[in-house]
Amino acid sequence: MDADDTRNRVLQAAGKIFAESGYELGTVREICEQAGANIAAVNYYFGDKKSLYLAACVEAQCVREGAVPMPEWPPGTPPAQRLRDFIHTFLRRLLEEERPAWHRQLMLREMATPTEACSQVVEDYIRPMALVLRGIVEELLPAGTSEVDAFLIGFSVVAQCLFYHINQPIASRLMGTDEYGRLTIDKLTEHITRFSLAALGYAAPLTRPAGQAEFVSHERAH
C-alpha cells in the first residue's frame, strides 16, 4: 500500500468526520481508525490535526480547480463573454461531477463557524478567483463605480451559481425532480449570464409587462 493511498484515506476519513462532528469533536484516533491507518499517520502526512483540517477544507473547496481551470482570454475578449465563461467554469467546478457529500457539509459548517482555515482558503484560493470576477464586472460598470459595489455585484453572480450547488434538494422539490434534472450546466450558464447582464443593463430583461417596449441593449465599447 503506497504512501499516497494512505494519505488520501486519512484525508477522506478526516473530511467525513470533521463534516459530521466539527473540528473539536473529530478525533485523530477516530480518523485513523476509519482510514485503517496507524494513529501516527496524521502527524506523518499532515503535521498535526489543525493542518489536517485545513487540508480537508482545501480539498472540499478547491479539488476541481486544477481539473477545470479558468480560461485564458485573448486580449480584447468582451467582458460579457468573459462573464459567461467565468460562470460556466464555476458551475462546472460545482456541478459537473458527483463530489463526496462531505465537501459541501464541511464548507457549510466552516462558513457557519469559521476557523483559521477559512481565512487561508479565502486568501489562497477564493480571493484570486474573486479578483478575476471583479475585473470583469468593473468593465461592465460605469467609470467611478466603487470597489464595494463591484464586489457586491460579483457576490450576486456567485450566489446564483452556489444556489444550484447548495440548494439542490430544495429546488428539485419545488420544480419537480424531472424538470430540475433538465437544468444542464449550459442552460444554467445562459440563464445566470443573461440575468446578470440584464441587471447591469447589457441584455434584454427576461420578462416585461404586456405593452412595454422591448429593451434595447446598450453594450458599451471597450
Both 105 and 194 in one domain: the answer is: yes
Residue 219 lies inside a defined structural domain of this protein: no
Q: What is the DSSP track for 99-111? A: --HHHHHHHHHHH
Domain that holds residue 126: 79-199
CA Rg value for the chain: 21
Both 178 and 118 in one domain: the answer is: yes
Q: Which residues of 210-221 are buried (b: 16+ CB within 10 A; e: fewer)?
A: eeeeeeeeeeee
Residue 87 lies inside a defined structural domain of this protein: yes
Q: What pLDDT score does 220 carry?
A: 46
Both 92 and 189 in one domain: the answer is: yes
Give pLDDT tens digits for 122-181: 998 899 999 999 999 999 999 999 999 999 999 999 999 999 988 989 999 999 999 999
Q: DSSP state, 74?
A: P
What is the CA 163 to chain-centroid distance, rounded? Answer: 10
Both 93 and 157 in one domain: the answer is: yes
Give pLDDT tens digits for 117-135: 888 889 988 999 999 999 9
Is-contact 52 62, C-beta < 8 A? no
For residue 217, pLDDT over 50 is answered with no
Grid coordinates representing 110 are 466552516
